Structure 1
């Protein structure tokens, strides 16, 4: 986060001309968002900053109309309720009388909560939080920084205003050129093509190994963020390919990153500044808990090491205590790092607060919990709870997860508009976000796998069809991140296909293909994967490795043939669910209801429950008891790894 301009911010040229060059760079850069991004107004009223009295506008038509009528630049503040640096800036920069007066007089200040508006975050966030942007009255980026001290903000605002007054026509022309390039790109959109190879997954793994921190774990130096997909690749690909080195990288990272686990209340902090996982940023996010719960359950499932189980249970304890609404059955979004007063000022910083025990903490109050409930993060935690329920034997977690998914489908799914991202003042808002569709879709698939209740598969298919109708680029392949709308403002008018979400879409549609056998899902996944692999943009290496491996590697089938109410049948079913084998499909087949078939395989029934472990190529001899199932699975992979002569 910048506290002052770098020494070379205005190198050997007048400040105004330097900012002009910055504009050219930014406007050109935004064109690339058309292919892959980095990662509607809800009110027409202005909102006072309770710490400074500054009147903030909502992102919406009213603010843009005012900016254009009054011919003023927009100051866009991207913030989050859990953001420590944002609170500091509120207490200093935005409380400075000179900054306030200049903003209120000569600019249109707009504040956006990125948890509430991920569509704006995808287009306007640069680096971390807060992101401070100066925009033209029509929403194009003039300048961006992060946290700014009062004197730096004053200098920036004054020079930006002078620049705009003197270079207005040139800036407008550059903005017009941006939209012309966007239009041209739409018209030249090409169908995706190109061969896909399983070796692409191995390439991703080799790149990960080169980045591994052998001292501290993780796949970067610093700062240390959680990398859930990298750990999933390490355990999953390592398991399938018997790559012990890769497996140990994943397990080592899980052991080292425990430094970010709150030793008192449980739950993981957001990230660490140092390579050794020290100097945490103490906010706790629902999605971070869900991602870590998945991986610690996986590690316990894989290794049987109860230390991983303990950490998973500490995550659950934290979520149940602080982020679960026992009244509605849904999950809250986050918990702040610091204890703050009603005026928003920091009373106890997180570094001090989280060094205390429970009694001392509660005596001083508690960091704010953001009690809003968002669709994507609730789906993430529901999926993690379903996984934990199967492995840890906690049936109450499955019950909670299924209620969350049912409630989202009942209250937030619209067949015309897709899923609502959130709600404010009892009004659902921001429909049709790709990220929400995918995250709920993956959770619904997991719900079907866990219960064999076809209702969840039907929900997943209905959502997939709406997702394609609203967001799929049928010519160019892949998915846009939000539906096109004539009401979009600023850079929301740039069609964006975010890499991460498109890769997750591949995984979702591949799962739907394997569960339903419908070729259209496989075709959608293939077009999307071809588009991703053909882009010149940097891709999330671990996630693309997962998607490619899942594309080529058919899931293991575990068929349990027996009467559903038989104790042995139930024991075989539960053992199959607990068995570590990523993306496996466990199915119970009733011996008195039709043919004993799964796909093209017909299973014998000898009057007693049996379990069969198969792929699309081979099926091993039946087993009649749960013990030894893991060894039988290893036998299957030993056969599959033998070279074909």
Structure 2
């Protein structure tokens, strides 16, 4: 992607210092390996010698891989990629656009030159989301879940499925929220995803469809979309028992562990290659075409999400391949990207390049993955606890989490509190509390949720998971304590309890169960909101205890 005539700098303080010293604006090109329009803009626009000369002379051009730098993506994204962003040497926004062809780029370059000559730094502005204001806090009430459940109905596309009347994304977390509240909507949407966004040959999921009717499919396949959507299909199988959902999930397992597998973990993405012609072909036809672009970057958050999804599927189906590859990913995280002692998470390592540390998205997903690992494999809770403790210490301030340490070039020193990632972390912390019995994690989760409660009426289906978090905090989630090692009949039955938000605690005979009970070997109890069931000795008894406790 870098083969242009533009003299690109790396993202970092040096580029902004250069801009200040030479009195030039910074041109940020936000791109991704999987982004077809980014490659086209490289060839058509940045590859045009006169445009490249203009850029090199009047600007400090910086290329940013948005998968490697999510905090830059969140601050400067112009609504999609590529994003073409002009900023001051202090990082403040001058103007921005998406894809620009040669003529459009010439006009924008001239406009920014004039703006800079007339106003200089005074032309810059800080986006409102980075102004430092705290989100409106409030009390957690049942109205929050009710509002977001209502938004499912308001925004559901009854003709084509999915939510909204424009481009359709998988919205995996929204599907999981709907599985407990509007299951028919969730199922219809999963069916649409399977029909339109599932690659029947390769097994993966495409990023989105450009129209309401799921047409104009964008064929890039990223680790985040595939892991989250795999988990949604696995959870649909948990609730319905429909083999079709398990089969689609199995295809996604194969995609993550074959097509995106690097040898030690899951790579970041596969680009669209030759687009519709490629994905309309069978395996034999594809073999005769050029391979799509692969990004083999091992991203901490993406791999943690993949491990979570693989373990979820393995827990429901006893699939050995999913379990084995999840264990390999967890080894990668512990060996390369997570310091189990300090809880520090590094976004990526590849060659000599090392990513940021303490990115909230990564920490949240690592905590969730290792809590899941404890429940499925019987190990991982120490890593989850270490990462959670560091995130609370480094990123939790004034009631909610920052997306990363408030320092760095550009606008990275401005505090940013993304709701969706705060929900991910709070949800993981609540599960960690149930798995460990440590109330302090639940207290931070509740405080975080309360920090956004004052604006809940503005939230739509894209953040429906906030409603699920609030419901867990208000009503609890089942925690099944099983006094057997992983793999026993009781343990397997615990994972088949039809609630995807439950927490399973194996080897519970090593500690007292909630409510002061001491478990006998080969028994299980269900704990919910301070109440603990009578012990169960068989899978059937366990299901009865769940029904008695949850009703």
1:275 aligns with 2:212: yes
User: For the structure 1 residues 290 and 510, does the alpha-carbon distance in structure 2 shift closer, same or farther, using more than 3 Å as the test?
Assistant: same
- Greater CA deviation, 193-202 or 105-114? 193-202
Who is 1:122 aligned against? 74
Mapped contact 1:49–1:55 kept (Cα < 8 A): no
Mapped contact 2:434–2:479 kept (Cα < 8 A): no
User: For the structure 1 residues 446 and 70, does the alpha-carbon distance in structure 2 shift closer, same or farther, using more than 3 Å as the test?
Assistant: same
Who is 1:600 aligned against? 515
Correspondence for 1:307 among 222, 240, 244:
244
Q: CA–CA distance in 2 between the matches of 1:515 and 1:422?
A: 28
Who is 1:445 aligned against? 371
Who is 1:495 aligned against? 415
Mapped contact 2:71–2:412 kept (Cα < 8 A): yes
Mapped contact 2:29–2:82 kept (Cα < 8 A): yes
What is the DSSP-based 3-state SS (H/G/I as helix, E as strand, rest coil) of the residue aligned with 1:404?
A: helix
What is the DSSP-based 3-state SS (H/G/I as helix, E as strand, rest coil) of the residue aligned with 1:255?
A: helix
1:209 aligns with 2:153: yes
Question: Please, what is the CA RMSD of the aligned residues?
Answer: 2.7
User: For the structure 1 residues 308 and 480, does the alpha-carbon distance in structure 2 shift closer, same or farther, using more than 3 Å as the test?
Assistant: same
User: For the structure 1 residues 277 and 529, does the alpha-carbon distance in structure 2 shift closer, same or farther, using more than 3 Å as the test?
Assistant: same
What is the DSSP-based 3-state SS (H/G/I as helix, E as strand, rest coil) of the residue aligned with 1:432?
A: coil
1:97 aligns with 2:49: yes
Q: CA–CA distance in 2 between the matches of 1:602 and 1:70?
A: 70
Correspondence for 1:331 among 244, 266, 283:
266
Mapped contact 2:237–2:243 kept (Cα < 8 A): yes
What is the DSSP-based 3-state SS (H/G/I as helix, E as strand, rest coil) of the residue aligned with 1:92?
A: helix
Who is 2:539 aligned against? 626
User: For the structure 1 residues 147 and 173, does the alpha-carbon distance in structure 2 shift closer, same or farther, using more than 3 Å as the test?
Assistant: closer
CA deviation vs aligned residue, 1:198-220 (integer Å, no higher than 9, x gap): 33112210122111111211111
Correspondence list, 1:225-240, <5 A: 225-236=169-180, 238=181
User: For the structure 1 residues 213 and 192, does the alpha-carbon distance in structure 2 shift closer, same or farther, using more than 3 Å as the test?
Assistant: closer
Who is 1:579 aligned against? 497
1:472 aligns with 2:396: yes
Mapped contact 2:308–2:372 kept (Cα < 8 A): yes
Correspondence list, 1:18-33, <5 A: none
1:161 aligns with 2:138: no
What is the DSSP-based 3-state SS (H/G/I as helix, E as strand, rest coil) of the residue aligned with 1:203?
A: helix
Who is 2:192 aligned against? 256
- Greater CA deviation, 139-148 or 189-198? 189-198
Q: TM-score, normalised by structure 1?
A: 0.79
CA deviation vs aligned residue, 1:130-189 (integer Å, no higher than 9, x gap): 000111232211111100110111111112212211223xxx3465x859x999x76xx7
Mapped contact 1:421–1:433 kept (Cα < 8 A): yes
Who is 1:543 aligned against? 465
Mapped contact 1:554–1:615 kept (Cα < 8 A): yes
Q: CA–CA distance in 2 between the matches of 1:284 and 1:151?
A: 31
1:49 aligns with 2:16: no
Who is 2:433 aligned against? 513
Mapped contact 1:77–1:112 kept (Cα < 8 A): yes
Q: Which has the larger radius of gyration?
A: 1
Q: Return 5+ residue gaps in structure 1 as ranges.
A: 1-47, 239-245, 339-348, 641-645
What is the DSSP-based 3-state SS (H/G/I as helix, E as strand, rest coil) of the residue aligned with 2:63?
A: strand
Correspondence list, 1:348-427, <5 A: 349-414=274-339, 418-427=344-353
Who is 1:643 aligned against? none
Shift of 1:581: 1.9
CA deviation vs aligned residue, 1:432-468 (integer Å, no higher than 9, x gap): 1111111101101111111233xx1111111111112
What is the DSSP-based 3-state SS (H/G/I as helix, E as strand, rest coil) of the residue aligned with 2:57?
A: helix
Mapped contact 2:26–2:59 kept (Cα < 8 A): yes
CA deviation vs aligned residue, 1:351-401 (integer Å, no higher than 9, x gap): 111111111111123112111111000000000011111112113322321
Mapped contact 2:343–2:383 kept (Cα < 8 A): no
Q: Return 5+ residue gaps in structure 2 as ranges.
A: none
Q: CA–CA distance in 2 between the matches of 1:167 and 1:126?
A: 23
Shift of 1:609: 4.7
User: For the structure 1 residues 292 and 99, does the alpha-carbon distance in structure 2 shift closer, same or farther, using more than 3 Å as the test?
Assistant: same
Q: TM-score, normalised by structure 2?
A: 0.92
User: For the structure 1 residues 613 and 69, does the alpha-carbon distance in structure 2 shift closer, same or farther, using more than 3 Å as the test?
Assistant: closer
Mapped contact 2:527–2:533 kept (Cα < 8 A): yes
CA deviation vs aligned residue, 1:78-115 (integer Å, no higher than 9, x gap): 00011011111111111222211211222221111101
Mapped contact 1:192–1:527 kept (Cα < 8 A): no
User: For the structure 1 residues 315 and 110, does the alpha-carbon distance in structure 2 shift closer, same or farther, using more than 3 Å as the test?
Assistant: same
User: For the structure 1 residues 150 and 405, does the alpha-carbon distance in structure 2 shift closer, same or farther, using more than 3 Å as the test?
Assistant: same
Correspondence for 2:360 among 434, 455, 463:
434
Mapped contact 1:417–1:431 kept (Cα < 8 A): no
1:531 aligns with 2:468: no
Who is 2:382 aligned against? 458
User: For the structure 1 residues 561 and 483, does the alpha-carbon distance in structure 2 shift closer, same or farther, using more than 3 Å as the test?
Assistant: closer
Q: CA–CA distance in 2 between the matches of 1:413 and 1:317?
A: 25
What is the DSSP-based 3-state SS (H/G/I as helix, E as strand, rest coil) of the residue aligned with 1:126?
A: coil
Shift of 1:603: 6.2
Shift of 1:560: 4.0
